[in-house]
Amino acid sequence: MGRRGAGRRKGEKAVSLQVLVTGASGLLGGAVARLLADKGHRVRTFQRRHTAGGPGLEVLSGTVTDPAAVRAAVEGADAVIHLAAKVSFTGGWDEFAAVNIGGTRNLLDAARAAGARDFVFVSSPSVAHFGHALAGEGAGRADPQRARGNYARSKAAAELIALAADAPSFRVAAVRPHVVWGPGDTQLVERVVKRAAAGRLPLLDHGAALIDTTYIDNAAAAIVRALERMDQARGQALVVTNGQPRPVGELLAGICTAAGVRPPSWSVPGWLARGAGSVVEKAWLVAGARGWVRDEPPMTRFLAEQLSTAHWFDQRQTRQVLDWVPEVGLDEGLKRLAAYYGGGPAR
C-alpha cells in the first residue's frame, strides 16, 4: 500500500496502517499496541519477552540491539512507534547506550530502508530535567550532558538523534509522557505500594513538591494521536501529562489508599535524601556488577530529586499540536486503580 499518515480530514475515510510498536511487553507499549488495533490498524509488536497476541496483533520477539532482528521486524511497516528502552534508576552507561541510543539508531536506519513514512520516538521529560524545579515550563531541549543519570542521558541522546532524522519523506516526532501509571503498573505503583506496606516509603520535605503525572490511557492516546497528527507534530518534542499537578505526598497517598495500604507518614529532608541517594547509587552499582543485588536501589539522587522538586509542565502546545485532551482525570484514575486492587480500607 502507499505510505500515508494516520491522520485524516473530516469526511475522509480512515486509512489502515501497518505499525510496528517496540517495547509492547511494558504497560505503556501494550496499551499503545491495543489502541492502534482497536482503531483498525495492523499492528506488529517487537519486544524481548514473548507476549500473547490479540486481535489485530502480530507478535515478534527480539532485541533492538540486533540489527538483523530489527530489519525483520520493520519490514513492510508504514510507521514505527518506538518505546523499547532500558529503564532503571541505576546501571552502567554501556548497557543504557547500547539499548537506548544504539537501539534507536537501528530502528531509524531500518525504518528508512523499509520505506516507513512516520516514526514516533517515546521519550521522557527527564531528558531536559537538570535537577532543579520545573514549574509550568514547556518541553525544553534534550541535553545529554546535563540530564541526570544514565537513563536520562541516554534517552536525551537518542531523542536528539531521532529528531535529527526528520525529513519530508520520513517524519519524526518525540513524545515525552511524564510519570505514567495505572492498573498493572510495576514501575511506579507496585514499588510505591510494596515500600509503603513495608514502612520504607518516606516523604521528602513532607511531600510538598508539586508534580504532574499521566494516567496510562491518556499516555497511550497521546502517543497514537502524535502518529495521527504527524503533519503538525513532526520535528517536535511534546511533553504529555494529565495537566493536574498535585503535591507528591497527596499522589502517593492516593495510590496507597487505592491499593489498601497505609500512606507514608514520615518525612526526610530532601537535601539528606539526595546526598544519601548518591552514596546508595554508587554502592548499588558495585553490588550489582558483582551479582549481589538485582533489584532497584531504595534511593538514588535522581529519584530523590524527582520526589523533592516540582516538575509540572505547560500543556498548551501539546494539546494544540495534537488537538487532544486527556479523557481520564486523576481522581477517576485512582478510582480505577482501587477497582484493580479490589477496593477496601487501608490496612
pLDDT number for residue 283:
59
Q: For 245-284, write each residue's pLDDT tens digit.
A: 999 899 999 999 999 999 988 887 764 656 655 555 565 5
Q: For 167-176, write each residue's pLDDT tens digit.
A: 999 999 999 9
Catalytic residues: 151
- Residue 14's region, left for phi above 0, alpha for psi from -120 to 50, else beta, is beta
Which residue numbers in the chain have pLDDT < 70? 1-14, 51-55, 89, 131, 270-306, 308, 344-347
pLDDT number for residue 282:
60
pLDDT number for residue 13:
47
Domain ranges for the chain, please list them. Answer: 18-182+212-241+312-329
Domain with residues 18-182+212-241+312-329, CATH architecture: 3-Layer(aba) Sandwich (3.40)
